[in-house]
């Protein structure tokens, strides 16, 4: 789920995704452009229809072909209260 009102904070072109990016980003939606695409998502080979989307936490990704984009957020992004320890009264 996106951190900003259920909206993604970043978009990455699937053809440029590297395994290292999974340590920097959390991807939870796949969007396919106008040409359709093929990819292996979480170990499952898929043919994805043009202008479709798939809401899934992407753990592994291998690009196949077509216009495909991964949407998500940077890891280590705080959302909510930044209070650590102590006591707090009132609305957060």
Q: Could you report the per-residue pLDDT of 10-53, keeping only the tens digit for each?
A: 999 999 999 999 999 999 999 999 999 999 999 999 999 999 99
Residue ranges of the domains in the chain?
10-74
- How sure is the predictor about 54, in pLDDT bands with cuts at 50, 70 and 90? very high
Q: pLDDT tens across 69-92, in order?
A: 999 998 876 555 555 555 556 555
pLDDT band at 7 (very low <50, low <70, confident <90, very high): confident
Burial class (CB in 10 A: 0-12, 13-18, 19+), 28: middle
Looking at residue 75, what is its pLDDT? 85
Q: Give the residue among 91, 72, 57 at the shortest CA–CA distance from 6.
A: 72
């Amino acid at each position: 789920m996106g951190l900003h009102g259920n909206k993604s904070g970043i978009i990455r072109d699937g053809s440029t995704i590297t395994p290292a990016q999974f340590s920097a980003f959390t991807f939870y939606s796949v969007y396919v452009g106008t040409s359709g695409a093929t990819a292996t998502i979480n170990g499952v080979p898929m043919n994805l229809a043009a202008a479709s989307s798939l809401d899934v936490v992407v753990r592994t990704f291998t690009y196949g072909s077509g216009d495909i984009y991964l949407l998500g957020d940077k890891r280590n992004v705080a959302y909510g209260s930044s209070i650590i320890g102590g006591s707090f009264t009132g609305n957060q």
